[in-house]
Amino acid sequence: MNLAENIKTFREQKGLLQKEVANAVGVHPSNYSKMEKGERDVSIEVADRLAKYFGVSLDELVHMKGDVPEEVTVVDKTVSERINLIQQLEEEDKKALFRIIDSMLTKSKFKDFFNKNVAAL
């Protein structure tokens, strides 16, 4: 479903007239009608007011339930692609990521050192 269809669905679920919703969110009824038909774009401000009026999140208004992926993962990226993605992170996030990597590398090196030296005893 698209945004226009979602708006119409929420309105119909609430048993409301187009004019009622239009007045409640501060748009002219003819403009609201065009929004439901997909003939007029919905500004973010109006979408936000519609979501509040229908008692749903803006995300639910745009995507309806079930159409939003639960989890987004980066799969099958090469090392260079991952490095490029890391470079795009905000500085604070990069530092946090590097602290984690440094910690893992230190732990691995210590483990290797410990195993070699214990084996020598």
What are 43-90's pLDDT values in tens digits?
A: 999 999 999 999 988 888 888 765 444 555 656 677 778 888 888 888
Residue 91 has pLDDT above 60, yes or no: yes
The pLDDT assigned to 119 comes to: 67
Tell me the torsion sign for CA atoms 76, 79, 84, 86: positive
Residue 19 has pLDDT above 80, yes or no: yes
Residue 11 has pLDDT above 80, yes or no: yes
The pLDDT assigned to 68 comes to: 45
Residue 99 has pLDDT above 80, yes or no: yes
SS3 63: helix
* Overall fold of domain 3-63: 434 Repressor (Amino-terminal Domain) (1.10.260)
E strands, 17-90, where? none
Secondary structure percentages of the chain, helix, strand, coil, to 5: 70, 0, 30
Average pLDDT, stretch 98-121?
84
Q: What is the pLDDT of residues 23-36, one digit of tens each?
A: 999 999 999 999 99
